Structure 1
Amino acid sequence: MNALFCLAVILFILMVVIGGKKGAKSFIALFLNFAVLLLTILIMTDPNANPIILTLIACTIISCINLFFINEVNNKTITAFVSTLITLAILLFFIVVVTEKSMIQGFGEEETEELSMFSLYLGVDFVKIGAAMIIMSTIGAIIDVAISIASPMRELYNHNQQVSRKELFSFGISIGRDILGTNTNTLFFAFFGGYLAMLIWFKDLSYSLGDIDNSKIFSSEMINILCAGIGVALIIPITSWITAYYLDKTREKSH
């Protein structure tokens, strides 16, 4: 029994004890998401495949797993799903342009020694691969914020069906403002946690701040964080408006 299996068992027990049936579904969703990502990467190695289209399909499937499989199909998951797709569509153009203009695609000079024995003529578009990586990195945070806003908005509507669309929208924005700071910090500290060894390496190599800032590895990760932060910021008004609109139209149909 290795450490990975022990940790997985502990996680499963905690998720079931605390989350019940939904916790068990969340645990299964982890492996389903991993399977989707692994299959996407395998197909992406085909030079004829379009990484952007594959990533959008994978993100759509991941959204369905995390929203509909875990929380079932209802008005909060539907609005969260639509909001997620709209936000990804808006981000897509922006991310592709930023990836191409910033030249962060491919490998950094710090990685050349480890890759020197391999051929770099892979026949794939590294600009699209870089954009796909950023999109994949943002999907989790976007889904999390979308459902975190749509769920309390639905609860408010269920307890007070006379609430106006404007009040619902303002309520969603208010929740989003509380979430925005914590999610942005989570993305930032996740970077430092994952790349702490690299930062220590930069210090040992006596990199100046300018060298660090112009390093392809560092720049690509910072752009990744900033794009994810933009996605988190965008999803707040989008989810608030779509959920308020959907709930208001539901009330009109019921009368």
Structure 2
Amino acid sequence: MNALIVLAAILFLLMTLIGGKKGARSFWALFFNFGVLIITVIIMNDPAIDSIILTLIACTVISCINLFYINEVNSKTKTAFLSTIITTVILLLFIVIVTKNAMIQGFGEEEMEELSIFSVYIGVDFVKIGASVIIMSTIGAITDAAIAISSPMREIYYHNPSISRKELFTSGLSIGKDILGTSTNTLFFAFFGGYLALLIWFKDLSYSVGDIVNSKIFSAEMITILCAGIGVTLVIPITSGITAYFLVKTKNKSETVK
């Protein structure tokens, strides 16, 4: 516990010194998001609650915290928020279909030994739970990509207010191309870092490559990574288009009023 407190204090100090007030808000946002996840898990235990709808609500709240609380309410956070919600809805419909057909819901063979003393008949739809887990795992990457595109696009527009909507949209796509590779690689290595012990266990159990690929745990994590990559890719043109539309539309309205 002492190590956790020391590390948290160091993180808070560094974020405050380097990021100022915004850095401090980013630190507290971690706890707010954690609280949202805990509340979501508790409510999700109620069979009467639809996990998909609950996930959308939780993702909306998380997006509000990450965008409006940290970066305040402005044009870049509004467009990033709208882009995040649109991308999440599109991705969620896709994830539900993939989860159901890939049969990755529930627990894998490697997990059942520890869970054998418990009953898994808890009255919830594991397909929806699996879809909720994947979308919760991707919301952070989608929000990060959205704000990483809308923020520089706003700066480009303010420094060059005569830029056309098409040129601004193209600039947003160029920015998105630069962050696309790093974002997907971050998701990929986050999996291998978190599940390195599992991969070593697979080796000790003499799993073949086919056994590993067809393992429910491995397949579920890889599908999560791929879905997150799809979400990050989709949010790039969506954010670029929405940001370019609203910025140029605002300029045209100002010129009309004059």
1:60 maps to: 60
Distance (whole Å) between structure 2 residues aligned to residue 120 and residue 178 of structure 1:
44
2:138 maps to: 138
1:92 maps to: 92
TM score, norm. by length of structure 2: 0.98
2:219 maps to: 219
Distance (whole Å) between structure 2 residues aligned to residue 32 and residue 140 of structure 1:
14
Render the CA deviation track for 1:14-55: whole Å, top value 9, x for unaligned: 000000000000011110100011000000001111111111
Structure 1 residue 92, shift from structure 2 partner? 1.0
Structure 1 residue 120, shift from structure 2 partner? 1.0
Taking the TM superposition and a 5 Å limit, the aligned residue runs for 1:39-118 are 39-118=39-118
- Say whether 1:210 aligns with 2:204: no
TM score, norm. by length of structure 1: 0.99
Residue aligned with 1:88, SS: helix
Residue aligned with 1:123, SS: coil
1:172 maps to: 172
1:8 maps to: 8
Q: Percent identity?
A: 75
Distance (whole Å) between structure 2 residues aligned to residue 112 and residue 229 of structure 1:
29
1:183 maps to: 183
> Gaps spanning 5+ residues in structure 1: where?
none
2:38 maps to: 38
Distance (whole Å) between structure 1 residues aligned to residue 240 and residue 229 of structure 2:
17
Render the CA deviation track for 1:187-225: whole Å, top value 9, x for unaligned: 000000000000000000000000001100000000000
> Gaps spanning 5+ residues in structure 2: where?
none
1:116 alignment partner AA = S
1:247 alignment partner AA = L
Alpha-carbon RMSD: 0.6
2:146 alignment partner AA = A
1:253 maps to: 253
Residue aligned with 1:121, SS: coil
Residue aligned with 1:120, SS: coil
Structure 1 residue 99, shift from structure 2 partner? 0.1
Structure 1 residue 12, shift from structure 2 partner? 0.1
Render the CA deviation track for 1:53-95: whole Å, top value 9, x for unaligned: 1110000000001100111111000000000000011101100
2:224 alignment partner AA = N
1:117 alignment partner AA = I
1:128 maps to: 128
Render the CA deviation track for 1:140-184: whole Å, top value 9, x for unaligned: 000000000000000011111000001100000000000000000
Distance (whole Å) between structure 2 residues aligned to residue 110 and residue 69 of structure 1:
40
Q: What count of residue pairs does the alignment treat as equivalent?
A: 255
Distance (whole Å) between structure 2 residues aligned to residue 89 and residue 161 of structure 1:
32
Which segments of structure 1 move beyond 6 Å, counting only runs of 4 or more? Answer: none
